[in-house]
Amino acid sequence: MRIPIREVSPESGRAEVAGWVHEVRDLGGLAFFLIRDRTGILQVTVPKKKVSEAVLSGMKEVSRESLVRVSGIVKAIDKAPGGRELIPDCFEILSRSGSPLPLDVSEKVPAELDTRLDSRFLDARRPRVTAVFQIRSRVMRTVNEFLFSRGFINITSPKIVAAATEGGTELFPIAYFEKEAFLNQSPQLYKQMMMAAGFEKVFEVGPIFRAEEHNTTKHLNEATSIDIEVSFTDHHGVMSLLEELVVHTYRDVGEHCQGALEALGIDRLPTPKTPFPRLSYGEAIELAAGKTGESIQYGDDIGTAAEKAIGEHMGEHYFIVDWPTAIKPYYAMPYEQDPEISKAFDLMHPRMELSSGAQRVHDHDLLVQQIQSKGLNPENFEFYLEPFRYGMPPHAGWGLGAERLVMTMLSLGNIREAILFPRDRHRLTP
């Protein structure tokens, strides 16, 4: 019976493992093989005079990164990694690896991100890369569990849509039989429509597509969005929920991914302090102006330099609230007493924006008015506007970038590290 390498211990006596040949050190009469599976690395020690012909011929033929099945006696040895080693009586090659390898899995020689992504399957054999995606998997699981436990209904909205109705970002056009269609930039309109259906709390985790020609370490053209929408609440309600979700996720990863965190050199994952500070847009640009020396006009977007300056000052997760209505989407609810300001917010990590959300406009006529004031044509929004005529509850929601959440949590230098097969301005394969 094959067991995971992590579970191999001297107490088990005999063990059988299957894994890839990570490294070979042949000292002559004695050879060491490091065998790796997704749970760890085991030293297989071969005293050549004491093992069978079959073992000798197997080890002679094997190449690095070939897949082998090895079984034998486990011995406790202080000198070996993990305090144990396996002396094989069976050493079988299950699948040979070609040579040379496209990159060095053992990481003695580094490889550039581009080289790594070209051979992502091999790159992902590297323990640190495996660790990132084990943690990402845990994050996704936790997010789902958290939202289900709060009574959310999971929905799946279409990714192929008819028109670029939201404005803002560029969309990818696709051919849809005889019509033109687009890949959806966000589930925004659909999750709002489900508020009109009375679902009350919905969430969706799925891909979003943006055809921006950006070339940065924090943008992707296909990203994963964690989206929620909640009825009978306001922006404060969903901000609290977001804060709880982030903290819960950090704590959960800290508790359940110790091995993976260790592989990444993280001894202890600090849980963000709550409540996250709420900084108004006005305070934010004032702070940025003071730090950078550049004046920011009220109503300007917060650029990279400003965002960085504010992040360095805050040093932790924080919200920017009370944005000018003019620079937020039409569906963000303006304050009743001051319609120039909207009930919109961004959740910021010191390094970048993680999420943005708002209380939404639920009044049909106000929504039409806001669409017009953005220079858009309400006629193009008919399918979206219709639910607002038949009892739309007040509601609020947000969208959270899954890659950015993982990237900032693990201090990854490039968002491409947080997604298996990134799609960026230039990369369409693998």
Q: Is 185 exposed, middle or buried (0-12, 13-18, 19+ CB in 10 A)?
A: buried
Interface with RNA in residues 199-238 (CB under 7 A): 208, 210, 212-217, 219
The piece of 48-56, 136-144, 231-239, 250-258 that touches RNA (CB under 7 A) is 48-56
The smaller minimum CB distance to RNA, of residues 186 and 325, is found at 186
- Give yes or no for a contact between 423 and 221, defined as CB atoms under 8 angstroms apart: yes
Query: With binding defined as CB under 7 A, does residue 73 bind RNA?
Result: no
Sign of CA dihedral 311, 312, 314, 316: positive
Among 251, 351, 423, 427, binds RNA (CB under 7 A): 427
Sign of CA dihedral 122, 126, 130, 133: negative
Among 4, 10, 32, 236, binds RNA (CB under 7 A): 32
Query: With binding defined as CB under 7 A, does residue 163 bind RNA?
Result: no
Interface with RNA in residues 135-154 (CB under 7 A): none
Among 25, 141, 273, 389, binds RNA (CB under 7 A): 25
The smaller minimum CB distance to RNA, of residues 262 and 301, is found at 301
Interface with RNA in residues 79-108 (CB under 7 A): 79-81, 85, 99-104, 108
Among 115, 156, 369, 373, binds RNA (CB under 7 A): 115
Interface with RNA in residues 303-342 (CB under 7 A): 303-305, 308, 328-329
Query: With binding defined as CB under 7 A, does residue 29 bind RNA?
Result: yes
Closest separation in Å from C-beta 178 to RNA: 26
Query: With binding defined as CB under 7 A, does residue 168 bind RNA?
Result: yes
Query: With binding defined as CB under 7 A, does residue 268 bind RNA?
Result: no
Residues that bind RNA (CB under 7 A): 23-30, 32, 43, 45, 47-50, 63-64, 77, 79-81, 85, 99-104, 108-115, 166-169, 185-186, 188, 208, 210, 212-217, 219, 301, 303-305, 308, 328-329, 346, 356, 399, 413-414, 426-427
